[in-house]
Amino acid sequence: MKNIEAITKNQSQLRSSSYDLSQVPDTMMYIINLNNEGGFALMSADKRTEPIFALVDNGNYSKEDDELIHNESFKMFIKYSEEYFIHTINTPQTRIGSETELGQDDPTGQWYLNRKTAPKLIWSWNQDAPFNDYCPSLPSGGNSVVGCVAVALGYATAHFSAIESINGYPIDWDVIQQMKTKDDLLANAVGRNQVDRLLREIGRNVNMNYGKTSYATDAKAWEYLQTLDIKFKTGFRQYRTDLSVTNFYNCLRSTRGIIVMGGRNINGAGHFWVVDGIKCYKSNSTTEKNLDLYHCNWGYGGTYDGYYLEQVYNFINTFSYLSGGISSEAPSNVNYNYGIIYCALSSKDPD
């Protein structure tokens, strides 16, 4: 173990004054970093909430890094994890158990892994060089970034080998299968050309607005997905609290099933990413409790890819306004302004 860093309520990005912060412990969560950039865990410091908020595959994290992080979805998750923690402490019916210190026995029972599906995507692509060779030039020099929508849709297209060509350019899936990381592209000019061309043409097809940040609408993303030779368990839908995690699990446990997810706030910041695995835990306490973690591939070169608490995503949309997709604007009297949509995809082959 490298270090343990506490997240305190004084550090958290609190946006709501409706909570009684006197009920919230000074230390809310712990960031547990492993040696040699081997990953980290985001753990609750209070047994009244779920014990695990995130299990990340590689790298380390510190609250001091927040201003330097470009991954909007990761930053969104951290912000809402803190707020979900405070909400849970202030809402007795949502609590998991009684207050105890980190490391003490859990009086509510032990958690065990009930079911899981391993991550399916083999790629860790990114939006900048060397992935953006064919993206439009910037006035200040260099090229526009690929755009998270293109990366997420590129993942889906490659995962299913869903097309033979795009806008007249042939696709060699055998080559793309080998282009898993930035280093692979730098070492293979043919593979780099294949991946970069795929991402650029997807951007063209979704009317990508290119720049230092590049974006497209969920409507255009949905139009593109419908051109692929894959099966849709759902179209783009708003992520609601009545969405059963079983629906996600059934999609993810199929041979090729993945979930494309997206979110955007009213200020325009947002992200598209892919959920490709899940871990479902249960508690053996008297009252059955569930803890579900989605494996998220953020499309940032593997940075912060890992398992994230599903209940936080439910919390976001419990208190958010979303109508017609991630490009919607929230009314001025709504404090919570981040919404999530999803689209479940699977192979047409028998599962």
Q: What are the DSSP calls for 198-266, one per residue?
A: HHHHHHHHTT-B-SSS-B--HHHHHHHHTTSS-EES--SEE--TT--HHHHHHHHHSSS-EEEEEEEET
CB 173 within 8 A of CB 120: no
Supply the pLDDT for residue 27: 93
Let me know: does 230 contact 161? Beta carbons within 8 Å: no
Backbone angles phi, psi at 41, to 5 degrees: -120, 145
Instruction: Grade residue 232 by pLDDT with cuts at 50, 70 and 90.
Output: confident
Flag whether pLDDT at 192 surpasses 70.
yes
Average pLDDT over residues 252-258: 87
pLDDT of residue 104: 42
Mean pLDDT, rounded, for 105-113: 68
Cα–Cα distance measured from residue 202 to residue 167, given in angstroms and rounded to the nearest whole number: 9
Pairing assessment for the beta strands 270-283 and 289-297 based on DSSP bridges:
antiparallel
pLDDT band (50, 70, 90) for residue 15: very low
d(CA 214, CA 127): 9
What distance in Å separates the CA atoms of residue 193 and residue 196, rounded to the nearest whole number?
Answer: 5
Q: Considering the domain 113-350 in this protein, what is its CATH number?
A: 3.90.70.50
| 48 alpha-carbon distance from chain centroid | 25
Beta-bridge partner residues of 278:
117, 294
Residue 51: asked if its preceding bond is cis (omega within 30°), the reply is: no
Quick one: which of 197, 211, 214 has its CA closest to 154?
197
DSSP secondary-structure letter at 323?
-
Show Cβ contacts of residue 134 under 8 Å, excluding neighbours closer than 6 positions: 196, 197, 199, 200
Contact predicate 287/97, CB 8 Å: no
Question: Which tens digit of pLDDT belongs to each residue from 262-304?
Answer: 876 655 567 899 999 999 998 887 677 888 999 999 999 999 9
Q: pLDDT averaged over the chain? A: 83
Compute the average pLDDT of residues 327-349: 56
- Write the pLDDT tens digit of every residue in 40-95: 999 999 988 999 999 998 999 999 888 888 887 898 889 888 888 988 888 775 55
Which structure tokens are listed for 37? 């950039």
Q: How far apart are CA 17 and CA 288, in angstroms?
A: 32
Stretch among 70-74, 130-134, 150-154, 223-227 having the lowest mean pLDDT: 70-74
Going from N- to C-terminal start, the domains of the chain cover 113-350
